[in-house]
Amino acid sequence: MHRTISNCPEMLARLVELGADVHCFRLAENGPTILQKGARRPGWDHNVGLVVRNLVEQYGVDVNEERSHDQGWTTLEAACYVFPNDAKYGATTDIVEFLLGRGAIITPLCLHTAAAFGNEVLGNLLLSSGASIADLQKPTHIRTSYWEERDLKHCSDVAETAELNGHHELAEKLRGFIGSGRISAEVN
């Protein structure tokens, strides 16, 4: 059923009519739920946005459903896993906005992921939607480069995540945010 995410909202609807469980984890890998998988698709795939919306609006899937055991992403964290060029097409930003509008909880990993990709569009959206200074300051273990396979590194805050991924200007802006003790709607 997870393969229907990428290309066919109608097929998802039919599978649900036939009794498919929209809340199940991928059993073979104990991986993400259908909603988590759909939220992590590339930003240019309009059908994915429709599937994500249908899962929440028509089938009652909770935008804050528990993390999968192996993958470890919330739905919003998965939606933030996007390169800035993908976000320019709008669908990924739309998915994040949709999830936030339905009460998705912003976690520090959402901000670290946006910083790792240098994605100021998503970073600004998260900051203007209720992320806290504490979220910016929380450490995490995150891959230091999404361009290469590397070990996870400990990053003391979101600014360090941006810095380690080569986004030096963004790191400076984030340090200014963290140092000011308040959040405005724009990083830039």
pLDDT band at 11 (very low <50, low <70, confident <90, very high): confident
107 contacts 64 by C-beta, under 8 angstroms = no
Same domain? 89 vs 111: no
For every residue of 74-105, DSSP letters joined together read -HHHHHT---HHHHTTSHHHHHHHHHHHTTPP
DSSP bridge pairs for 140: 155
Same domain? 78 vs 131: no
**Domain end marker among 102, 123, 156:** 102
Q: What's the pLDDT score for residue 93?
A: 78
Q: What's the pLDDT score for residue 119?
A: 86
Distance (Å) of CA 115 to CA 31, 75, 136, 156, 180: 24, 18, 10, 13, 18
Higher pLDDT, 44 or 70: 70
Work out the percent of the chain whose per-residue pLDDT is above 70: 71
Q: What's the pLDDT score for residue 103?
A: 96
pTM of the model: 0.79
> Is the model's pLDDT at 185 over the cut of 50?
no
Same domain? 88 vs 159: no
Instruction: Count how many domains the chain has.
Output: 2
For the record, the structure tokens of 123 come out as 């970073």
61: CATH = 1.25.40.20
**Domain end marker among 102, 124, 159:** 102
**Domain end marker among 52, 77, 102:** 102
* Three-class DSSP category at 155: strand
> Is the model's pLDDT at 184 over the cut of 60?
no
C-alpha 76/C-alpha 175 separation (Å) is 24
Contacts of 77 (CB under 8 A, 6+ apart): 107, 109, 110, 113
Contacts of 147 (CB under 8 A, 6+ apart): none
C-alpha 127/C-alpha 135 separation (Å) is 10
Same domain? 58 vs 122: no
> Is the model's pLDDT at 177 over the cut of 50?
yes
Average pLDDT over residues 157-171: 91
Give the dihedral sign, CA 85/86/91/96.
Answer: negative
120 contacts 176 by C-beta, under 8 angstroms = no
pLDDT band at 129 (very low <50, low <70, confident <90, very high): very high
Same domain? 81 vs 60: yes
Give the model confidence (pLDDT) of 13-42 as tens digits: 777 788 877 777 555 556 677 777 777 764
Same domain? 5 vs 34: yes
Same domain? 44 vs 129: no
Same domain? 19 vs 97: yes
115 contacts 162 by C-beta, under 8 angstroms = yes
Q: Which domain holds residue 122?
A: 106-188
Distance (Å) of CA 169 to CA 32, 119, 120, 155, 188: 33, 12, 11, 17, 9
Give the model confidence (pLDDT) of 69-125 as tens digits: 655 678 898 888 877 776 566 556 788 999 999 999 999 999 998 898 888 888 889
Average pLDDT over residues 58-65: 88
Q: What's the pLDDT score for residue 102?
A: 96
